[in-house]
Amino acid sequence: MRVRLSKTFTFEAAHFLPTFPEGHKCRRLHGHSFRVDVVVAGEIDPAVGYLVDYGAIKAACEPIRVQLDHHCLNEVPGLENPTAEMIAAWIWARLKPGLPLLAEVIVHETCTSRCEYRGE
């Protein structure tokens, strides 16, 4: 049986988007309550009845959450231009080695705006 599991983590952070046009509100320093959905997918092992322990997904995400929470994202190495797209790819690159079944990273920047990233 093929399934998709999702685990969510949140972080509060500030950023500014240096590539946006002068005068654009997002070019100024501002903050968000980010929500990230981490999705793994695959065939469950019939002997155990599950794909991945949710606790393992949470443990893989925790160092990333700590690195981003209450920071200016522009100061995080690799996130000098922290658009939702770049944040999603950055998180993917850090999770994939420890979560080989990673299928998708969804970064919710606001209640109505998100980026869905499924790797290259």
What are the residue ranges spanned by the domains of the chain? 2-117
Distance from C-alpha of 29 to C-alpha of 26, rounded to nearest angstrom = 7
Distance CA 106, CA 4 (A): 14
CA distance 10 to 36: 6
Write down the CATH superfamily of domain 2-117: 6-pyruvoyl tetrahydropterin synthase/QueD (3.30.479.10)
Active-site residue, from 24, 43, 70, 85: 70
Residue 7: beta bridge partners?
Answer: 38
The C-alpha atoms of residue 8 and residue 10 are separated, in whole angstroms, by: 7
- In tens digits, the chain (120 residues) has pLDDT values of 999 999 999 999 999 999 999 999 999 999 999 999 999 999 999 999 999 999 999 999 999 999 999 999 999 999 999 999 999 999 999 999 999 999 999 999 999 999 999 998
From the candidates 26, 71, 72, 115, which is the catalytic residue?
26
Closest CA to 88 of 113, 116, 58: 116
Look up 26 and say whether it is catalytic.
yes
**Has 70 been annotated as catalytic?**
yes
State the catalytic residue, choosing from 15, 61, 108, 109. Answer: 109
Asked whether 29 and 60 are in contact (CB, 8 A), the reply is: no
**Phi/psi at 108 (nearest 5 deg)?**
-95, 110
DSSP 118: -
Q: Please state, as a whole number, how many other Cβ atoms lie within 10 Å of the Cβ of residue 1.
A: 7
Q: Is 32 considered catalytic here?
A: no
State residue 120's pLDDT score.
83
